[in-house]
Amino acid sequence: MLSERIQIIRSEFDSDISKVSDLKDLENVRIKYLSRNGEISTLFEDLKTATKEEKPLVGKSLNELRNYATTQFNLLKENLETASSSTDEKIDITLPGITKILGSKHLLTQTLDEIKSIFKGLGFSILEGPELESDYNNFEALNFPSDHPARDMQDTFFINKEFLLRTHTSPVQIRVMSSHKPPVRAIMPGRVYRNEAVSSRSYCMFHQVEGLYVDSGVTFAELKGTLVSFAQQFYGEGLNYRFRPSFFPFTEPSAEMDITCYLCHGKGCKVCKQTGWLEILGCGMVDPNVFGFVDYDSEKYTGYAFGMGIERTAMLKYGISDIRVFFENDIRFLKQF
């Protein structure tokens, strides 16, 4: 009798549990079968009335029924719970998103881009050389003999006797001329290093742009024309400029180019040290001795070269008074440009 009822309850349980669609249904199934007064507990009560012979067998199948029902219940409960937790999770689309802060080009990159585009317009190509240079390219072939006092102008980080961190971009001139026959017309931007005390006006690393044009019949007038055209495009029309005699071992004659002080417009102030002028670059006609080092015929070819610091150029154009701000990566400075 009891074993038949066990069969019936089991199939009823199967049918009920197969209809469960949510946790509420499931709870009802639990109450109906597994609670203290549920069908299965009632069967256990009835077991007490079974005969001695019946008891072991019926007891066993009753235990099996209870284990079966409990396992089914637990399994379904787990499934329903995970399903409900994933659908309960609502996305609040009105919440503000995580703002992505867009970076921008560093002022030095912007300045260099502008310089490059002006010189491209004037027919120059763009070349680069390594920062770790030989003493030969950085000094020797640029007409600085090893005991030449002009080496003192550029405090050098030496790696060993033969190699150093380049102190200017001029060694790229040597590389270009050693590997190309004239005509060459290129600008050569890059980093340079000097073993100087860091201050508002100098840093141990900075950037320069070198320029070189060699062909037959290149004149100082062309040098001036090119640089004046550059200065007008870069600093703006209406500026006065002048070329002052200067000295570099690798150019002869050499000059420095000044423009009217942007602050006082030539009247004299602190920035221009009361002169009314600001130096923007060094330049000159390539010294025939340099041509000798690169196997150019100095009877046939002439050329000019110039070099400017990119930090200095940006400082002059934007009125920045401390070179260190370029390397501090302070977002308050960088985002102004």
Binding positions for ligand PHE, 235-274, rule CB under 6 A: 248, 251
Cβ at position 305, least distance to ligand PHE in Å: 4
With binding defined as CB under 6 A, does residue 170 bind ligand PHE? yes
* Interatomic CA distance for residues 142 and 134, integer angstroms: 12
Tell which one of 73, 139, 306, 326 touches ligand PHE (CB under 6 A): 306
Letter for the amino acid at 179? S
With binding defined as CB under 6 A, does residue 223 bind ligand PHE? no
Cβ at position 307, least distance to ligand PHE in Å: 3
Closer to ligand PHE by CB, 190 or 307: give it.
Answer: 307
With binding defined as CB under 6 A, does residue 307 bind ligand PHE? yes
Closer to ligand PHE by CB, 182 or 284: give it.
Answer: 284
Cβ at position 310, least distance to ligand PHE in Å: 12
Tell which one of 2, 127, 278, 283 touches ligand PHE (CB under 6 A): 283
Closer to ligand PHE by CB, 39 or 311: give it.
Answer: 311
What residue number has its CB nearest to ligand PHE? 307
Closer to ligand PHE by CB, 65 or 190: give it.
Answer: 190
Tell which one of 10, 166, 168, 175 touches ligand PHE (CB under 6 A): 168
Closer to ligand PHE by CB, 17 or 255: give it.
Answer: 255
Are the CB atoms for 127 and 189 separated by under 8 Å?
A: no
Site string for ligand PHE, 46-85 (x = CB under 6 A): ----------------------------------------
Q: Give the angle 186-192-195 at the CA atoms, nearest 5°.
A: 155
With binding defined as CB under 6 A, does residue 194 bind ligand PHE? no
Closer to ligand PHE by CB, 13 or 213: give it.
Answer: 213
With binding defined as CB under 6 A, does residue 305 bind ligand PHE? yes
Buried/exposed code over 99-126 (b: 16+ C-beta within 10 A; e: otherwise): eeeeeeeebbeebbeebeebbeebebee
Site string for ligand PHE, 114-143 (x = CB under 6 A): ------------------------------
Closer to ligand PHE by CB, 61 or 156: give it.
Answer: 156
Are the CB atoms for 288 and 171 separated by under 8 Å?
A: no
How long is the chain? 337
Span from 64-72, 97-105, 224-232, 281-289 in contact with ligand PHE (CB under 6 A): 281-289
Q: Could you write out the three-class secondary structure of the chain?
A: CHHHHHHHHHHHHHHHHHCCCCHHHHHHHHHHHHCCCCHHHHHHHHHCCCCCCHHHHHHHHHHHHHHHHHHHHHHHHHHHHHHHHHHHCCCCCCCCCCCCCCCCCCHHHHHHHHHHHHHHHCCCEECCCCCEEEHHHHCHHHCCCCCCHHHHHCCCCECCCCEEECCCCCHHHHHHHHHCCCCEEEEEEEEEECCCCCCCCCCCEEEEEEEEEEECCCCHHHHHHHHHHHHHHHHCCCCCEEEEEEEECCEEEEEEEEEECCCCCCCCCCCCCCCCEEEEEEEEEECHHHHHHCCCCCCCCEEEEEEEEHHHHHHHHHCCCCCCHHHHCCHHHHCCC
Count, residues near ligand PHE per rule CB under 6 A: 11
Span from 61-69, 99-107, 236-244, 302-310 in contact with ligand PHE (CB under 6 A): 302-310
Closer to ligand PHE by CB, 168 or 175: give it.
Answer: 168
Question: Rule CB under 6 A: which residues touch ligand PHE?
Answer: 168, 170, 210, 248, 251, 282-284, 305-307
